[in-house]
Structures are given as C-alpha cells and as structure tokens.
Amino acid sequence: MADAKQTRIYLIDDHPIVREGFTMAVAAEADMVVVGEASTAADALRETATIDPDVVVVDLNIPDLDGIELLGALRALIPRARLLVLSSYDDEYRVAEALRAGAQGYLVKTSKLDEVIDGIRRVAAGESPLSPKIQGAVVRAIRKATGDGSGGLDALTPRERQVLRLLAAGTSTRETAAQLTISPKTVETHRVRIYAKLGCKSAVELTRLAVRAGLIEA
C-alpha cells in the first residue's frame, strides 16, 4: 500500500522489459511507488482517470496513438498530474512538440537510472528536467520557431521520414499504416505534421521534394 508521502507514478511504455525494470528500480526508492502501468494509450487513458497518479512517465512510441496526441489527452484528462517523457526520440522537433503538448520534463532512454529517478523527483516538485543531450535541441527548436517554419527534411522525425517516403511513392494511407504497423489515424497525423514542417500544400509538392531529396525515384 502506498504511503501518503510517496509520489504515485504511472508508466506508459509498450516494452515489458522496460516496465519491469522501471518498476523494480522505483521499488527501491522510499519516496515513490508505481501505481499502474500500460502498454497502450487506450489502457493508459482508461486507468489514469481513476488511479489519479502524481507523475505519468510517457514513452512517445506507443502503437495505438501518436505520443504527442497521448500527451494532450492526458493533460486534458488528468490536469493535476505531471507528465514526464522518457523516450528514444532526441530530435529538436519531437522534443518541442512534446513540451508544447503538456510535458513538464523530457528524458531520453539513454539516461542513467539515477537520472531518471532524479527526473521524477524534480518533475513532481514542479521543476522541468531535461536530459543534457536534448538541451541544445530545445534551444535550436526555439530559434527555428522564429523562422519560416519549413524546417527542411532535417525537421522530420525518423517515423515522419518513413511516412513521407511511402506517401510520396503513392502508397495509400491504409497501406502505409499496414506497412509501418500504425493506425491510419496516426498516418494522417504524421501527414499533417510533414506538410507543416516542409511547407507543402499538395501531394505533388511533397512528391517533388522527396524526389529531389533522393527519398524516392522519379
């Protein structure tokens, strides 16, 4: 049973080994406890509403919902909770999107265990912990936000590049979703972000850009 003074943590990650290791690590800390975990966004959104955790640790690579959308949904559902991203993504645009969506902290999965534990304590205390690896990325994102917004191909996440390559090659939304093992809705979310980042207004422009970049053949 959780002590009243313990920070109540909920973990969202689709890898069982990550959830198991995280739970074991937290169990060794007297001031925090894992009160729930989920491998999908659907389970997380259903459970966190009743569990009411203090901190939600979120991986952005969740199979049934884009991670940024998940952050927004959690923020609306449990506004009291602090959201801490723990992700393999370290590019400036993904980090910036996560912070805009409501994350109060962002750590990368290459962080040491004690850095993650410290990050949880800090975010629970009202701070905004960032992994040293991404601090420069945040600064670059802020600087680019004052530009024209197109960003170029370097603005795209690895997943967005995959989606771009398939869509530009004429693959349908449903086929793209099947090949990448994501939902059609997630493909559409990526499409919107790709268009915005690259400044494209049509599929023709998108295809031309992909050809020029060598992502597909003419």
Supply the pLDDT for residue 218: 54
Where residue 147 falls among pLDDT bands split at 50, 70, 90?
Answer: very low
Query: Which of 92, 113, 143 is at the close of a domain?
Result: 143
β-bridge mates for residue 14, sequence order: none
138 pLDDT more than 70 = no
Residue 61 is part of a domain; what is its CATH number? 3.40.50.2300
150 pLDDT more than 60 = no
Supply the pLDDT for residue 58: 97
Clarify whether residues 128 and 159 are in a common domain: no
Give the range among 63-67, 114-118, 214-218 with minimum mean pLDDT: 214-218
Supply the pLDDT for residue 137: 65
Query: Which of 91, 122, 143 is at the close of a domain?
Result: 143
Residue 36 lies in a domain: yes
Supply the pLDDT for residue 146: 43
Pick from 111, 146, 144: nearest CA to 18: 111
18 pLDDT more than 70 = yes
Clarify whether residues 101 and 190 are in a common domain: no
Please give the single-letter amino acid code of residue 210: A
Label residues 60-75 b or e (16+ Cβ within 10 Å = b). Answer: bebebbbbbbbbebbb
Clarify whether residues 70 and 137 are in a common domain: yes
More confident residue, 78 or 200: 78
Clarify whether residues 164 and 92 are in a common domain: no
Where residue 148 falls among pLDDT bands split at 50, 70, 90?
Answer: very low
Residue 1 lies in a domain: no
Residue 175 is part of a domain; what is its CATH number? 1.10.10.10
> Could you give the CA distance from residue 51 to residue 10 in angstroms, rounded to a whole number?
9
206 pLDDT more than 90 = no
Clarify whether residues 137 and 197 are in a common domain: no
Share of the chain above pLDDT 90, in %: 48
Clarify whether residues 92 and 166 are in a common domain: no
Supply the pLDDT for residue 3: 53
SS3 content of the chain, % helix, strand, coil (to 5): 55, 15, 30
Supply the pLDDT for residue 209: 77
| Mean per-residue pLDDT of the chain | 85
Q: What is the DSSP string of 91-109?
A: -HHHHHHHHHHT-SEEEET
Supply the pLDDT for residue 1: 46
Residue 167 lies in a domain: yes
Supply the pLDDT for residue 143: 56
State how far the alpha carbon of 187 is from the alpha carbons of 95, 129, 136, 192, in Å.
19, 30, 29, 9
Q: Which domain holds residue 189?
A: 153-212
Supply the pLDDT for residue 14: 94
Clarify whether residues 18 and 117 are in a common domain: yes
Q: What is the mean pLDDT of residues 127-148?
A: 68
Query: Which of 83, 109, 143 is at the close of a domain?
Result: 143
How many domains are contained in the chain?
2
Residue 148 lies in a domain: no
Residue 178 lies in a domain: yes
Supply the pLDDT for residue 153: 74
Judged by DSSP in three states, 127 sits in: coil
Q: What is the mean pLDDT of residues 102-129?
A: 93
